[in-house]
Each structure stands twice: as structure tokens, then as C-alpha cells.
Amino acid sequence: MAALLCVPFGSATRAQGIQRLAVPGVNNFWRVDATVSTGGTITSRDMALPVLKRRGIRTVINLAGGPDAEAERAAVEKAGMKYLLFAIDGATLDPAPVDPFLEAVRDRSIY
């Protein structure tokens, strides 16, 4: 499965600094600030997606791609969140997904 960047809604939470949080079904989950969280692989969609939704996550951004990306998209959208895929190949570091990714994160509607 893929690395993810999660974007919660609103900014009512005051800045508390970066915090590592335990989110079942997500490796290495961090709350960066009131609008951005990040995590590694979703290891269990059944466990992770309800927790992410309850945390106020509105958008899951997959930066790794992979064979499970479309199944992950279907599960994320079924859970009521947006899913964006910008597969970055670590071997080639192709810059093609970078501009679309930057455009997407500038779009305040995903937060």
C-alpha cells in the first residue's frame, strides 16, 4: 500500500507542534499542524479509514502509488473522503507529479 498525506478540515485546532499519534492501520502517523497530517502505509483500511474520518481528515493523498492504489481510492471515497494520487517513483524521481501535487495542496477545498 502507499504512503499518505492526510488533510483534515478546518483550522479550529490551535497549533501544538508536530505530534506522533497512534492511528490503528497506519504506519508512522504524525499530526503536523491544524491542517496537515502525514503517515506511511495504510496497513488496514478497515481500521484506519474510520479513525481518519473521525479525526476530521477530508483528503487522503497517496504519494507512492502501487498496485493497491485504486482499491485504496475506492475505500477512501466510500468512507466519505477525497483521494488524490501523485505517484512519485523514488528510483527515478520523475518531477511530473510535483506540479499537480503543489496545485492540489494550494486548493483550500481539500482541507
pLDDT, one tens digit per residue, over 42-84 is 999 999 999 999 999 999 999 999 999 999 999 999 999 999 9
Q: Residue 63 corresponds to which cell in the numbers above?
A: 504519494
Strand, helix or coil for residue 89? coil
* Other CB atoms within 10 A of residue 78 CB: 10
Strand, helix or coil for residue 28? coil
CA distances from residue 13 to 21, 61, 71 in whole angstroms, order as listed: 15, 21, 31
pLDDT, one tens digit per residue, over 52-62 is 999 999 999 99
DSSP tag of 4: E
CA distances from residue 83 to 4, 47, 61 in whole angstroms, order as listed: 10, 17, 6
Task: Identify the pLDDT of residue 12.
Answer: 45
Q: Residue 12 corresponds to which cell in the numbers above?
A: 479550529
DSSP tag of 67: T
Helix or strand holding residue 63 (H, E): none
Calculate the dihedral angle through the C-alpha atoms of 53, 66, 3, 35, rounding to the nearest 10 degrees: -50
pLDDT, one tens digit per residue, over 84-110 is 999 988 888 888 888 899 999 899 888
